[in-house]
Structure 1
Protein backbone atom coordinates (compact mmCIF):
# COMPACT_ATOMS: atom_id res chain seq x y z
CA UNK A 1 0.00 0.00 0.00
CA UNK A 2 1.34 3.41 -0.95
CA UNK A 3 1.91 5.83 1.89
CA UNK A 4 0.55 9.38 1.94
CA UNK A 5 2.82 12.43 1.95
CA UNK A 6 1.55 15.98 2.52
CA UNK A 7 3.73 18.86 1.37
CA UNK A 8 2.84 22.48 2.09
CA UNK A 9 4.31 24.61 -0.68
CA UNK A 10 5.65 22.13 -3.21
CA UNK A 11 5.13 23.86 -6.55
CA UNK A 12 8.68 25.12 -7.11
CA UNK A 13 12.25 24.94 -5.82
CA UNK A 14 13.08 22.42 -3.11
CA UNK A 15 9.45 21.38 -2.67
CA UNK A 16 9.06 20.60 -6.36
CA UNK A 17 12.19 18.44 -6.30
CA UNK A 18 10.79 16.49 -3.33
CA UNK A 19 7.46 15.98 -5.11
CA UNK A 20 9.16 14.83 -8.31
CA UNK A 21 11.25 12.35 -6.35
CA UNK A 22 8.31 10.84 -4.46
CA UNK A 23 5.38 10.87 -6.88
CA UNK A 24 5.91 7.37 -8.31
CA UNK A 25 6.06 5.59 -4.97
CA UNK A 26 3.68 7.60 -2.76
CA UNK A 27 0.33 9.33 -2.80
CA UNK A 28 1.39 12.98 -2.80
CA UNK A 29 -0.82 15.83 -1.61
CA UNK A 30 0.52 19.32 -2.31
CA UNK A 31 -1.14 22.31 -0.68
CA UNK A 32 0.12 25.54 -2.23
CA UNK A 33 -0.95 28.87 -3.67
CA UNK A 34 -0.16 27.89 -7.27
CA UNK A 35 0.16 24.68 -9.24
CA UNK A 36 3.36 25.71 -10.96
CA UNK A 37 4.83 22.64 -12.67
CA UNK A 38 2.60 20.21 -10.77
CA UNK A 39 0.25 19.84 -13.74
CA UNK A 40 2.65 17.34 -15.25
CA UNK A 41 2.88 15.23 -12.10
CA UNK A 42 0.65 12.60 -10.54
CA UNK A 43 -0.26 14.50 -7.40
CA UNK A 44 -3.35 15.85 -5.66
CA UNK A 45 -3.14 19.63 -5.54
CA UNK A 46 -5.01 21.65 -2.91
CA UNK A 47 -5.26 25.40 -3.40
CA UNK A 48 -3.97 26.76 -0.11
CA UNK A 49 -2.30 29.87 1.27
CA UNK A 50 -0.82 29.17 4.69
CA UNK A 51 -1.08 32.85 5.60
CA UNK A 52 -4.83 33.16 5.09
CA UNK A 53 -6.46 29.74 4.68
CA UNK A 54 -7.41 26.87 6.92
CA UNK A 55 -6.43 23.50 5.49
CA UNK A 56 -9.47 21.58 4.23
CA UNK A 57 -9.10 18.23 5.97
CA UNK A 58 -11.84 16.73 3.82
CA UNK A 59 -9.37 16.76 0.94
CA UNK A 60 -6.74 14.80 2.86
CA UNK A 61 -6.44 11.08 3.68
CA UNK A 62 -7.22 9.78 7.16
CA UNK A 63 -3.58 8.81 7.67
CA UNK A 64 -0.54 10.89 6.78
CA UNK A 65 2.84 9.15 6.79
CA UNK A 66 5.05 12.10 5.90
CA UNK A 67 4.69 15.86 6.22
CA UNK A 68 6.91 18.66 4.89
CA UNK A 69 6.34 22.37 5.49
CA UNK A 70 8.10 24.56 2.91
CA UNK A 71 6.83 28.19 3.13
CA UNK A 72 9.38 30.69 4.35
CA UNK A 73 10.88 34.13 3.91
CA UNK A 74 14.26 35.80 3.54
CA UNK A 75 14.47 39.38 4.83
CA UNK A 76 18.07 40.57 5.17
CA UNK A 77 18.50 44.12 6.46
CA UNK A 78 20.41 45.91 9.23
CA UNK A 79 18.53 45.69 12.52
CA UNK A 80 18.03 49.46 12.66
CA UNK A 81 16.14 49.30 9.36
CA UNK A 82 13.83 46.44 10.31
CA UNK A 83 10.54 47.49 11.84
CA UNK A 84 8.58 45.45 14.33
CA UNK A 85 6.07 44.64 11.60
CA UNK A 86 8.76 42.78 9.66
CA UNK A 87 9.59 40.68 12.71
CA UNK A 88 5.91 39.89 13.12
CA UNK A 89 5.51 39.03 9.44
CA UNK A 90 8.51 36.69 9.49
CA UNK A 91 7.20 34.97 12.60
CA UNK A 92 3.82 34.52 10.93
CA UNK A 93 5.03 32.92 7.72
CA UNK A 94 7.89 30.89 9.17
CA UNK A 95 6.52 29.83 12.55
CA UNK A 96 2.91 30.60 13.41
CA UNK A 97 1.54 29.37 10.08
CA UNK A 98 3.55 26.17 10.55
CA UNK A 99 2.05 25.68 14.01
CA UNK A 100 -1.45 26.26 12.61
CA UNK A 101 -1.04 23.53 9.99
CA UNK A 102 0.59 21.09 12.42
CA UNK A 103 -2.34 21.53 14.80
CA UNK A 104 -4.73 20.71 11.97
CA UNK A 105 -3.01 17.48 10.89
CA UNK A 106 -1.27 16.11 13.99
CA UNK A 107 -4.13 13.72 14.79
CA UNK A 108 -3.83 12.19 11.31
CA UNK A 109 -0.13 11.43 11.51
CA UNK A 110 0.35 7.67 11.36
CA UNK A 111 2.54 5.52 13.58
CA UNK A 112 6.19 5.79 12.56
CA UNK A 113 5.47 8.88 10.51
CA UNK A 114 7.86 11.76 9.89
CA UNK A 115 7.61 15.55 9.90
CA UNK A 116 10.23 17.75 8.25
CA UNK A 117 10.52 21.50 8.83
CA UNK A 118 13.02 24.10 7.62
CA UNK A 119 15.20 26.48 9.59
CA UNK A 120 18.26 28.45 8.45
CA UNK A 121 21.98 28.37 9.08
CA UNK A 122 21.48 31.85 10.56
CA UNK A 123 19.50 30.46 13.50
CA UNK A 124 22.52 28.60 14.83
CA UNK A 125 25.32 30.89 13.59
CA UNK A 126 25.31 34.61 14.29
CA UNK A 127 25.20 36.49 10.99
CA UNK A 128 24.76 40.24 10.46
CA UNK A 129 21.51 41.44 8.88
CA UNK A 130 19.71 38.20 9.81
CA UNK A 131 18.01 39.22 13.07
CA UNK A 132 14.43 38.78 11.87
CA UNK A 133 14.86 35.56 9.92
CA UNK A 134 17.11 34.06 12.61
CA UNK A 135 14.51 34.80 15.29
CA UNK A 136 11.66 33.12 13.41
CA UNK A 137 13.74 30.14 12.32
CA UNK A 138 15.09 29.74 15.86
CA UNK A 139 11.50 29.38 17.02
CA UNK A 140 11.09 26.48 14.59
CA UNK A 141 14.13 24.71 16.02
CA UNK A 142 12.86 24.94 19.60
CA UNK A 143 9.37 23.88 18.51
CA UNK A 144 10.82 20.89 16.64
CA UNK A 145 12.68 19.54 19.67
CA UNK A 146 9.71 19.88 21.99
CA UNK A 147 7.24 18.41 19.49
CA UNK A 148 9.58 15.49 18.81
CA UNK A 149 9.83 14.77 22.53
CA UNK A 150 6.09 14.98 23.05
CA UNK A 151 5.15 12.68 20.16
CA UNK A 152 7.95 10.11 20.40
CA UNK A 153 7.92 7.29 19.47
CA UNK A 154 4.89 7.70 17.19
CA UNK A 155 6.08 10.68 15.13
CA UNK A 156 9.62 11.69 14.22
CA UNK A 157 10.15 15.45 13.87
CA UNK A 158 13.32 16.96 12.40
CA UNK A 159 14.41 20.24 10.88
CA UNK A 160 16.83 21.04 8.07
CA UNK A 161 18.94 24.19 8.38
CA UNK A 162 20.25 25.20 4.95
CA UNK A 163 22.53 28.00 3.89
CA UNK A 164 21.55 29.92 0.77
CA UNK A 165 20.02 27.78 -1.98
CA UNK A 166 19.46 28.67 -5.62
CA UNK A 167 15.67 28.90 -5.59
CA UNK A 168 13.17 31.66 -6.51
CA UNK A 169 13.00 32.63 -2.81
CA UNK A 170 16.68 33.62 -2.88
CA UNK A 171 16.65 35.18 -6.35
CA UNK A 172 17.32 38.73 -5.10
CA UNK A 173 20.50 37.56 -3.41
CA UNK A 174 21.75 35.68 -6.48
CA UNK A 175 20.60 37.81 -9.39
CA UNK A 176 24.02 38.40 -10.97
CA UNK A 177 27.28 36.55 -11.44
CA UNK A 178 29.17 38.64 -8.88
CA UNK A 179 26.67 37.94 -6.14
CA UNK A 180 26.74 34.24 -6.94
CA UNK A 181 30.54 34.20 -6.86
CA UNK A 182 30.69 36.03 -3.55
CA UNK A 183 28.09 33.73 -1.99
CA UNK A 184 29.89 30.65 -3.27
CA UNK A 185 33.21 31.78 -1.86
CA UNK A 186 31.76 32.23 1.62
CA UNK A 187 31.21 28.48 1.85
CA UNK A 188 34.02 25.98 2.44
CA UNK A 189 32.67 23.84 -0.41
CA UNK A 190 32.83 26.91 -2.69
CA UNK A 191 29.35 26.78 -4.11
CA UNK A 192 25.83 27.70 -3.18
CA UNK A 193 23.25 25.02 -2.54
CA UNK A 194 20.79 23.65 -5.05
CA UNK A 195 17.32 22.16 -4.49
CA UNK A 196 18.69 18.62 -4.76
CA UNK A 197 21.15 19.20 -1.90
CA UNK A 198 18.34 20.10 0.47
CA UNK A 199 15.65 17.92 -1.04
CA UNK A 200 17.71 14.75 -0.73
CA UNK A 201 18.08 15.36 2.99
CA UNK A 202 14.31 15.79 3.28
CA UNK A 203 13.79 12.54 1.38
CA UNK A 204 16.11 10.76 3.80
CA UNK A 205 14.24 12.14 6.81
CA UNK A 206 10.90 11.06 5.35
CA UNK A 207 12.18 7.53 4.73
CA UNK A 208 12.61 4.56 7.04
CA UNK A 209 16.38 4.99 6.60
CA UNK A 210 16.16 7.75 9.24
CA UNK A 211 13.97 5.75 11.62
CA UNK A 212 16.32 6.40 14.59
CA UNK A 213 16.58 10.16 14.06
CA UNK A 214 14.24 12.64 15.74
CA UNK A 215 14.43 16.06 17.34
CA UNK A 216 17.47 17.01 15.27
CA UNK A 217 18.56 20.15 13.45
CA UNK A 218 20.50 18.96 10.43
CA UNK A 219 22.76 21.53 8.77
CA UNK A 220 23.01 21.28 4.99
CA UNK A 221 25.07 24.38 4.38
CA UNK A 222 28.29 23.74 2.48
CA UNK A 223 30.19 23.71 5.78
CA UNK A 224 29.63 27.39 6.58
CA UNK A 225 28.22 26.83 10.08
CA UNK A 226 31.15 24.77 11.40
CA UNK A 227 34.21 25.30 9.20
CA UNK A 228 36.51 28.27 8.64
CA UNK A 229 38.74 27.87 5.59
CA UNK A 230 39.54 31.49 4.70
Structure 2
Protein backbone atom coordinates (compact mmCIF):
# COMPACT_ATOMS: atom_id res chain seq x y z
CA UNK A 1 0.00 0.00 0.00
CA UNK A 2 1.36 3.39 -0.98
CA UNK A 3 2.01 5.75 1.91
CA UNK A 4 2.83 9.44 2.26
CA UNK A 5 6.11 9.76 4.12
CA UNK A 6 7.90 12.97 5.09
CA UNK A 7 11.59 13.14 5.90
CA UNK A 8 12.76 16.17 7.82
CA UNK A 9 16.29 17.13 6.81
CA UNK A 10 16.60 14.24 4.38
CA UNK A 11 18.70 15.78 1.61
CA UNK A 12 21.93 13.95 2.39
CA UNK A 13 23.30 10.82 4.01
CA UNK A 14 20.85 8.56 5.77
CA UNK A 15 17.80 10.63 4.81
CA UNK A 16 18.64 10.53 1.11
CA UNK A 17 19.24 6.78 1.33
CA UNK A 18 15.83 6.29 2.95
CA UNK A 19 14.15 8.44 0.28
CA UNK A 20 15.80 6.45 -2.51
CA UNK A 21 14.50 3.20 -1.01
CA UNK A 22 10.94 4.48 -0.62
CA UNK A 23 10.31 6.62 -3.67
CA UNK A 24 9.32 3.82 -6.06
CA UNK A 25 6.31 2.74 -4.01
CA UNK A 26 5.42 5.73 -1.84
CA UNK A 27 4.78 9.47 -1.97
CA UNK A 28 8.01 10.76 -0.43
CA UNK A 29 8.45 14.35 0.72
CA UNK A 30 11.69 15.89 1.95
CA UNK A 31 11.59 19.10 3.99
CA UNK A 32 15.12 20.47 4.28
CA UNK A 33 17.28 23.53 3.82
CA UNK A 34 18.97 22.21 0.66
CA UNK A 35 17.57 20.67 -2.51
CA UNK A 36 20.96 19.82 -4.02
CA UNK A 37 20.72 16.07 -3.54
CA UNK A 38 17.02 15.24 -3.79
CA UNK A 39 16.36 11.87 -5.50
CA UNK A 40 14.29 12.03 -8.65
CA UNK A 41 10.58 11.56 -7.96
CA UNK A 42 10.75 13.02 -4.47
CA UNK A 43 8.92 16.25 -3.58
CA UNK A 44 11.02 18.91 -1.83
CA UNK A 45 10.01 21.78 0.44
CA UNK A 46 12.54 24.30 1.70
CA UNK A 47 12.46 24.10 5.48
CA UNK A 48 14.80 24.99 8.34
CA UNK A 49 13.92 23.18 11.57
CA UNK A 50 15.49 25.94 13.66
CA UNK A 51 13.50 28.76 12.09
CA UNK A 52 10.44 27.59 10.17
CA UNK A 53 6.95 26.35 11.08
CA UNK A 54 6.22 22.96 9.47
CA UNK A 55 2.47 23.62 9.57
CA UNK A 56 2.90 26.42 7.03
CA UNK A 57 4.13 24.03 4.32
CA UNK A 58 1.70 22.85 1.64
CA UNK A 59 1.60 19.20 2.67
CA UNK A 60 -0.97 16.42 2.08
CA UNK A 61 -3.75 16.14 4.65
CA UNK A 62 -2.65 12.64 5.62
CA UNK A 63 0.92 11.71 6.57
CA UNK A 64 1.62 8.03 7.23
CA UNK A 65 5.31 8.20 8.08
CA UNK A 66 7.69 10.73 9.63
CA UNK A 67 11.47 10.47 9.81
CA UNK A 68 13.37 13.18 11.69
CA UNK A 69 16.96 13.29 10.43
CA UNK A 70 18.64 16.49 11.75
CA UNK A 71 21.36 15.83 14.28
CA UNK A 72 24.81 16.76 15.48
CA UNK A 73 28.08 15.10 16.42
CA UNK A 74 29.63 17.52 18.88
CA UNK A 75 32.48 15.61 20.51
CA UNK A 76 34.57 17.60 22.97
CA UNK A 77 35.65 17.31 26.60
CA UNK A 78 32.91 18.49 28.93
CA UNK A 79 35.08 21.33 30.29
CA UNK A 80 35.35 22.75 26.76
CA UNK A 81 31.60 22.84 26.14
CA UNK A 82 29.61 25.77 27.43
CA UNK A 83 25.97 25.53 28.54
CA UNK A 84 25.16 27.30 25.27
CA UNK A 85 26.61 24.34 23.35
CA UNK A 86 24.29 21.99 25.20
CA UNK A 87 21.36 24.29 24.43
CA UNK A 88 22.24 24.34 20.72
CA UNK A 89 22.48 20.55 20.51
CA UNK A 90 19.20 20.16 22.38
CA UNK A 91 17.51 22.71 20.11
CA UNK A 92 18.51 20.92 16.91
CA UNK A 93 18.13 17.32 18.04
CA UNK A 94 15.15 17.48 20.38
CA UNK A 95 13.26 20.79 20.66
CA UNK A 96 12.91 21.11 16.89
CA UNK A 97 11.63 17.53 16.73
CA UNK A 98 8.92 18.40 19.24
CA UNK A 99 7.88 21.44 17.19
CA UNK A 100 7.73 19.38 13.99
CA UNK A 101 5.49 16.74 15.58
CA UNK A 102 3.20 19.41 17.04
CA UNK A 103 2.88 20.98 13.60
CA UNK A 104 2.18 17.68 11.84
CA UNK A 105 -0.05 16.16 14.51
CA UNK A 106 -3.39 16.68 12.69
CA UNK A 107 -2.02 15.11 9.48
CA UNK A 108 -0.45 12.18 11.36
CA UNK A 109 -3.77 11.56 13.13
CA UNK A 110 -5.47 11.23 9.74
CA UNK A 111 -3.38 8.13 8.99
CA UNK A 112 -4.73 4.68 9.79
CA UNK A 113 -1.54 4.10 11.79
CA UNK A 114 1.33 6.56 11.42
CA UNK A 115 4.91 5.39 11.93
CA UNK A 116 7.42 7.85 13.41
CA UNK A 117 11.15 7.14 13.29
CA UNK A 118 13.75 9.13 15.23
CA UNK A 119 17.53 8.81 15.58
CA UNK A 120 19.58 8.46 18.74
CA UNK A 121 23.16 7.24 19.26
CA UNK A 122 24.88 4.23 20.75
CA UNK A 123 26.43 6.67 23.25
CA UNK A 124 23.13 6.90 25.15
CA UNK A 125 23.30 3.22 26.11
CA UNK A 126 27.04 3.03 26.77
CA UNK A 127 28.85 6.00 28.28
CA UNK A 128 31.56 7.41 26.03
CA UNK A 129 34.02 10.21 26.77
CA UNK A 130 33.41 13.52 24.97
CA UNK A 131 29.76 12.61 24.19
CA UNK A 132 28.06 14.49 27.05
CA UNK A 133 26.12 16.96 24.90
CA UNK A 134 25.00 14.68 22.08
CA UNK A 135 24.18 11.84 24.51
CA UNK A 136 22.03 14.21 26.57
CA UNK A 137 20.11 15.45 23.52
CA UNK A 138 19.63 11.98 22.04
CA UNK A 139 18.74 10.54 25.44
CA UNK A 140 15.89 13.04 25.55
CA UNK A 141 14.68 11.67 22.21
CA UNK A 142 14.64 8.09 23.51
CA UNK A 143 12.59 8.98 26.58
CA UNK A 144 10.24 11.18 24.56
CA UNK A 145 9.71 8.49 21.92
CA UNK A 146 8.66 5.86 24.45
CA UNK A 147 6.25 8.22 26.19
CA UNK A 148 4.80 9.39 22.86
CA UNK A 149 4.41 5.79 21.70
CA UNK A 150 2.46 4.96 24.87
CA UNK A 151 0.27 8.03 24.65
CA UNK A 152 -0.71 7.61 21.01
CA UNK A 153 -0.96 3.82 20.74
CA UNK A 154 -2.49 2.27 18.70
CA UNK A 155 -2.80 5.27 16.34
CA UNK A 156 0.95 5.95 16.12
CA UNK A 157 3.94 3.68 16.22
CA UNK A 158 7.09 5.43 17.45
CA UNK A 159 10.55 3.86 17.28
CA UNK A 160 14.15 5.00 17.53
CA UNK A 161 17.28 3.89 15.70
CA UNK A 162 20.50 4.25 17.70
CA UNK A 163 23.46 3.90 15.32
CA UNK A 164 27.12 3.76 16.08
CA UNK A 165 29.49 5.76 13.88
CA UNK A 166 28.13 5.85 10.33
CA UNK A 167 29.97 6.99 7.22
CA UNK A 168 28.12 10.22 6.46
CA UNK A 169 29.14 13.83 5.83
CA UNK A 170 28.28 14.58 9.46
CA UNK A 171 30.99 12.13 10.56
CA UNK A 172 33.52 13.12 7.90
CA UNK A 173 36.06 14.54 10.35
CA UNK A 174 36.16 11.22 12.18
CA UNK A 175 36.55 9.16 9.00
CA UNK A 176 38.64 11.36 6.71
CA UNK A 177 41.47 8.87 6.22
CA UNK A 178 41.84 5.14 5.69
CA UNK A 179 43.72 4.87 8.98
CA UNK A 180 40.86 6.50 10.90
CA UNK A 181 38.28 4.30 9.18
CA UNK A 182 40.25 1.17 10.03
CA UNK A 183 40.66 2.25 13.66
CA UNK A 184 36.96 2.99 14.02
CA UNK A 185 35.99 -0.27 12.33
CA UNK A 186 38.12 -2.26 14.79
CA UNK A 187 36.09 -0.90 17.71
CA UNK A 188 33.02 -2.78 16.49
CA UNK A 189 32.49 -6.55 16.84
CA UNK A 190 31.49 -6.69 13.14
CA UNK A 191 34.74 -4.86 12.23
CA UNK A 192 33.14 -2.24 10.03
CA UNK A 193 31.81 1.27 10.22
CA UNK A 194 28.13 1.67 9.45
CA UNK A 195 26.88 2.86 6.07
CA UNK A 196 23.86 4.95 5.20
CA UNK A 197 22.28 1.83 3.69
CA UNK A 198 22.65 -0.07 6.97
CA UNK A 199 20.60 2.57 8.76
CA UNK A 200 18.18 3.22 5.89
CA UNK A 201 17.28 -0.48 5.76
CA UNK A 202 16.11 -0.41 9.39
CA UNK A 203 14.23 2.87 8.91
CA UNK A 204 12.46 1.51 5.82
CA UNK A 205 11.42 -1.58 7.78
CA UNK A 206 10.05 0.51 10.64
CA UNK A 207 8.01 2.63 8.22
CA UNK A 208 6.53 -0.45 6.55
CA UNK A 209 3.60 -2.64 7.53
CA UNK A 210 6.08 -5.46 8.17
CA UNK A 211 6.80 -3.77 11.52
CA UNK A 212 3.14 -3.14 12.41
CA UNK A 213 3.51 -4.87 15.82
CA UNK A 214 6.60 -2.89 16.85
CA UNK A 215 6.47 0.36 18.81
CA UNK A 216 8.26 2.08 21.67
CA UNK A 217 11.59 0.43 20.83
CA UNK A 218 15.17 1.63 20.52
CA UNK A 219 17.11 -0.38 17.95
CA UNK A 220 20.89 -0.49 18.18
CA UNK A 221 22.14 -0.61 14.58
CA UNK A 222 25.72 -0.41 15.72
CA UNK A 223 27.82 -3.35 14.57
CA UNK A 224 27.29 -5.02 17.94
CA UNK A 225 29.06 -2.27 19.87
CA UNK A 226 26.37 -1.70 22.50
CA UNK A 227 25.87 -5.35 23.50
CA UNK A 228 28.95 -7.41 22.63
CA UNK A 229 32.44 -7.52 24.04
CA UNK A 230 34.72 -9.42 21.63
CA UNK A 231 38.07 -8.04 22.80
Give the TM-score range, shorter chain: over 0.9
Q: Does 1:97 align with 2:96?
A: yes
Equivalent residue number for residue 230 of structure 2: 229
Judging changes above 3 Å, is the alpha-carbon distance between structure 1 residues 213 and 190 closer, same or farther for their aligned structure 2 residues? same
> Contact between 2:11 and 2:36, CA under 8 Å: does it hold in 1?
yes
> Contact between 2:55 and 2:103, CA under 8 Å: does it hold in 1?
no
Q: How many angstroms does 1:2 deviate by?
A: 3.0
Q: How many angstroms does 1:111 deviate by?
A: 2.0
Q: Does 1:37 align with 2:21?
A: no
> Contact between 2:123 and 2:135, CA under 8 Å: does it hold in 1?
yes
> Contact between 2:55 and 2:104, CA under 8 Å: does it hold in 1?
no
Q: How many angstroms does 1:68 deviate by?
A: 0.3
Equivalent residue number for residue 87 of structure 1: 86
Matches within 5 A, 1:129-148: 129-148=130-149
Instruction: Quote the Cα distance in structure 2 between the aligned partners of 1:130 and 1:99.
Output: 22
Secondary structure at the residue paired with 1:20?
helix
Q: How many angstroms does 1:24 deviate by?
A: 1.2
Secondary structure at the residue paired with 1:111?
coil
Report the TM-score, using the length of structure 2 for normalisation: 0.97
Matches within 5 A, 1:182-201: 182-201=183-202
Q: Does 1:161 align with 2:166?
A: no
> 137-146 or 99-108: which moved more?
99-108
Equivalent residue number for residue 177 of structure 2: 176
Equivalent residue number for residue 23 of structure 1: 23
Instruction: Quote the Cα distance in structure 1 between the aligned partners of 2:51 and 2:180.
Output: 34
Instruction: Quote the Cα distance in structure 2 between the aligned partners of 1:58 and 1:170.
Output: 30
Matches within 5 A, 1:112-127: 112-127=113-128
Q: How many angstroms does 1:181 deviate by?
A: 1.0
Instruction: Quote the Cα distance in structure 1 between the aligned partners of 2:105 and 2:149.
Output: 12
Instruction: Quote the Cα distance in structure 1 between the aligned partners of 2:104 and 2:84.
Output: 29
Matches within 5 A, 1:29-68: 29-38=29-38, 40-68=39-67
Equivalent residue number for residue 72 of structure 2: 73
Runs of 4+ in structure 1 over 6 Å off? none
Instruction: Quote the Cα distance in structure 2 between the aligned partners of 1:34 and 1:135.
Output: 27
Alignment gaps of 5+ in structure 1: none
Alignment gaps of 5+ in structure 2: none
Instruction: Quote the Cα distance in structure 1 between the aligned partners of 2:179 and 2:81.
Output: 26
Instruction: Quote the Cα distance in structure 2 between the aligned partners of 1:112 and 1:2.
Output: 13
> Contact between 2:45 and 2:57, CA under 8 Å: does it hold in 1?
no
Instruction: Quote the Cα distance in structure 1 between the aligned partners of 2:56 and 2:84.
Output: 31
> 47-56 or 11-20: which moved more?
47-56
Equivalent residue number for residue 152 of structure 1: 153
> Contact between 2:164 and 2:221, CA under 8 Å: does it hold in 1?
yes
> Contact between 2:8 and 2:69, CA under 8 Å: does it hold in 1?
yes
